[in-house]
């Protein structure tokens, strides 16, 4: 499917309906705000951003129990695991397109009861990108939903990150989170601006405040209606993933399902994210 391009006076963005992936998001003078995907058709984890739904990240045993029912989730990795859900592995339909905005839709009908429609709206507005991800449950039985976005910010030695957090969930076995702690290691505590650690990081922070990311003297702000932020970074990588999430990792298998939303037929839930290049 053809790449969609959005433009305004200051910004340009490339959107691939396959996976609803942003391929590039940059200023008109060539500064990459998000990682630029080198070629169309590359793996989704080399994109600039993609949506996470109906459940973000991983789920232990790729399943959960709800009201006495055992619900198996579709496996979408070569290793035979669930990761990030349906959005990044399906082709979306283009509902609307203008010079500076686009809306994509996706219809899902799984035999596990996850029957839903999704809408992903993107709009360039001055120096910001506004993103809204919405799902509407259409199944006869209720299901748990938790949304997220997976942006990859371009990274170099000049980059610093700053956001308020009262604690985090360290990574455990199988990329699952360990219990919450307020004791954040200094090199991973971004309550003060600091560089991204040079080693592997893959952990969830409790943070509902805006984050500020500075690179090459340009300051960016990501804000959302999410109470959690996933930070993912590979050693010597060219990106850092800063993922706003509605819920804890594996929340469907935790008491009270922290951050998840139980939807009946016809009910919706939405995620709102803004990525803004702040005026210097």
- Checking if the pLDDT of 124 tops 60, the result is yes
Structure pTM?
0.95
Q: Which two tokens stand for residue 220?
A: 């960016």
Backbone angles phi, psi at 187, to 5 degrees: -70, -10
**Domain coordinates of the chain in residue numbers?**
4-277
pLDDT digit string, tens, across residues 217-271: 999 999 999 999 999 999 988 899 999 999 999 999 999 999 999 999 999 999 9
**Residue 97 and residue 4 in contact, taking contact as beta carbons nearer than 8 Å:** yes
Going by their DSSP bridges, the two strands 211-215 and 49-52 should be labelled as: unpaired
Confidence of residue 99 (pLDDT cuts 50, 70, 90): very high
- Rounded CA-CA distance 124/5 in Å is 11
- Checking if the pLDDT of 129 tops 90, the result is yes
pLDDT digit string, tens, across residues 1-13: 689 999 999 999 9
- Rounded CA-CA distance 239/265 in Å is 39
Instruction: State in words which class domain 4-277 has.
Output: mainly beta
């Amino acid at each position: 499917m053809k790449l969609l391009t959005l433009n305004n006076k200051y910004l340009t963005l490339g959107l691939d309906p396959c996976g609803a992936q942003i391929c590039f998001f940059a200023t008109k003078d060539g500064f990459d705000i998000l990682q630029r995907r080198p070629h169309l058709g590359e793996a989704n984890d080399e994109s600039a951003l993609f949506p996470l739904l109906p459940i973000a990240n991983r789920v232990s045993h790729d399943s959960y129990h709800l009201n006495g029912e055992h619900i198996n989730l579709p496996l979408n990795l070569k290793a035979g695991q669930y990761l990030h859900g349906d959005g990044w592995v399906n082709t979306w339909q283009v509902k609307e397109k203008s010079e500076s905005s686009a809306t994509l839709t996706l219809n899902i009908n799984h035999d596990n009861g996850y029957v839903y429609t999704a809408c992903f709206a993107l709009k360039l507005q001055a120096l910001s990108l506004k993103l809204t991800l919405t799902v509407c449950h259409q199944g006869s039985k209720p299901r748990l939903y938790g949304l997220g976005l997976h942006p990859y910010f371009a990274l170099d030695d000049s980059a610093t990150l700053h956001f308020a957090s009262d604690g985090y969930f360290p990574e455990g076995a199988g990329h699952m989170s360990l219990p919450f702690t307020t004791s954040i290691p200094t090199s991973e505590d971004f309550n003060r601006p600091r560089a991204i650690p040079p080693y592997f990081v893959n952990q969830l922070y409790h943070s509902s405040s805006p984050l500020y990311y500075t690179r090459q003297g340009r300051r960016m702000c990501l804000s959302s209606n999410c109470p959690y932020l996933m930070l993912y970074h590979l050693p010597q990588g060219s990106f850092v993933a800063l993922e706003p999430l509605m819920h804890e990792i594996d929340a469907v298998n935790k008491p009270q399902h922290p951050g998840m939303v139980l939807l009946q037929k016809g009910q919706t839930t939405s995620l709102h994210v803004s990525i803004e290049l702040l005026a210097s």
